[in-house]
Amino acid sequence: MRTISTLCVVLLAVGACDRGMSDLPDKGVAVADSLYGSDVVRITDKEIDGYSGNGIENEYARADAWNADGSYLVLRGNDGVPYLYRGTDYQLVQDLSWLVGGQELEPRWDATDPSRFFWFSGTALVCFSVSADTGLVVHDFLLDFPGMSFVTTAVEGDASLDRRYWCLMVCDSAFGLMAVCVYDRTLDSVVGLKTSFPGVVNHVTMDASGEHAVICYDTMPMQSFHRDFSHQVDFPHGAAGHSDIAQTADGRDVMVLQNVATDSISMIDLETGVETGLQAIPFDVNPDIGMHISGNCSAKPGWVLVSTYGAENPPAGSVHSWMDNLLYMLELKPNPRIVELAQTRCYTGVNPRSNYFAEAFASINRAGTKLVFGSNRGRYSPEDYTDAYEVRLPANWDQ
């Protein structure tokens, strides 16, 4: 079942040509979305915050930007510099560029301690304490893989919810892949290892429970494994689009993704490989729909956040589909409910994709109460401009 507001239907019918072109809201002020009524707050403002680049937003859809109690969040400048913000009043607290080594920081907040997050520095997994402003090496993988230079998920990966298990790419000085491993933080040891691959590895991730590691490739469907890399499951043809790990309402680990062969969003059980179709993508109405998926809301299992964007404002010569430039929750079961939240107002330009950062990358927090995304609101200059926005979800949105 899907519900669309009457106002939205009317606007789509007349073209809604001004979508995404409204003035920028003030930093820190909640503004009701003009179509769906959700509170949207602009988190960042370069003139006030003074960050170095032209734009800023959350790192990616797959990672929760907020800490355990929502008191802090980490944002990534579009020039690569990470920043620590207070989650209560959106004040910039600290430039974290000094933490960055030769690879992306990839901050992942501790599951229960709001004062610390994990990040990658060269060959090591490190834990940073916000309160002490110091870092402590958790594990140096050079001890396990002599000659390596970097450890990473390639940005799009995450650890298990409890932060015990980490699926990681082990790379040489040219970022050539040496191995993929699973690290157990409790045992402080590598408990899974794989050194041969059927294609070019794009990124890796652990599932929420810590039972499965997933390897994602450039030009072939993904594969899931038990954390010791036994029990290989090959994903179906077409299972290679934007995706994220999630859990169903009954506790199964799944990958929710865009199936590029069927033009649909589906979920794949990591243990069995069974695919369940969830929603058709209306490319027949508008061929210019891009999307990202976020499955972080572990306190609300059985749902994912979907964020969509387009190349033009509005797409030239096309009729708007219901899915255009939208933030919505998608239920993980056949004939799912869809809860529409707010407009993304994200337009990447017509060069094509002149502004990669205007792809929304929306991420929901673990509690399932708010989300963060980057938007250029239809502004194409400078070409890497976005601001970070928070959307506060209505109470009991899943009911």
Distance CA(94)–CA(187), nearest Å, equals 33
Largest CA distance in the chain: 63
3-state secondary structure of 98: helix
pLDDT for res 102 = 82
Look at residues 117, 179, 120 and name the one whose alpha carbon lies nearest to residue 151.
Answer: 120
Other beta carbons less than 10 A from residue 44's beta carbon: 23
Q: What is the pLDDT of residue 31?
A: 95
Give residue for tokens 């940005």: 155
Cα gap 124→366, rounded to integer Å = 26
pLDDT tens, N- to C-terminus, the chain (399 residues) = 334 332 233 233 323 333 334 479 999 999 999 999 999 999 999 999 999 999 999 999 999 999 999 999 999 999 999 999 999 999 999 999 998 878 899 999 999 999 999 999 999 999 999 988 889 999 999 999 999 999 999 999 999 999 999 999 999 999 999 999 999 999 999 999 999 999 999 999 999 999 999 999 999 999 999 999 999 999 999 998 899 999 999 999 999 999 999 999 999 999 999 999 999 999 999 988 999 999 999 999 999 999 999 988 877 777 789 999 999 999 999 999 999 999 999 999 887 678 999 999 999 999 999 999 999 999 999 999 999 999 999 889 998
8 Å CB contact between 99 and 105: yes
- CA dist 253 and 185 (Å) reads 21
Q: How far apart are CA 353 and CA 278, in angstroms?
A: 27
- Residue by residue, DSSP assigns 102-132 as SS----EE-SS-TTEEEEEETTEEEEEETTT
Name every residue whose Cβ is closer than 8 Å to that of residue 14 and which is 6 or more positions away in sequence.
Answer: none
- For residue 14, the SS3 value is helix
- Please tell me the predicted confidence (pLDDT) of residue 141: 98
CATH topology of domain 6-392: Methylamine Dehydrogenase; Chain H (2.130.10)
Please report the pLDDT score of residue 11 as a whole number.
Answer: 30
Alpha carbon distances (Å) from 37 to 5, 12, 373: 11, 17, 17
CA atoms 227, 232, 236, 240: torsion sign:
positive
Query: Which pLDDT score is estimated for 373?
Result: 98
Give me the residue spans of the domains in the chain.
Answer: 6-392
Residue 172 has a CB neighbour count (10 Å cut-off) of 13
Helices (H) and strands (E) in the chain, counts: 2, 29
**What's the distance, CA 295 to chain centroid?**
8
Contact of 137 with 126, CB cutoff 8 Å: yes
Residue 367: which residues within 8 A CB-CB, separation 6 or more?
Answer: 70, 297, 299, 300
Question: What DSSP letter does each residue of 329-379 carry, written as one string?
Answer: EEESSSS--EEEEEE---B--TTTSS-GGGS---EE-TTSSEEEEEE-TT-
pLDDT (0 to 100) of residue 352: 66
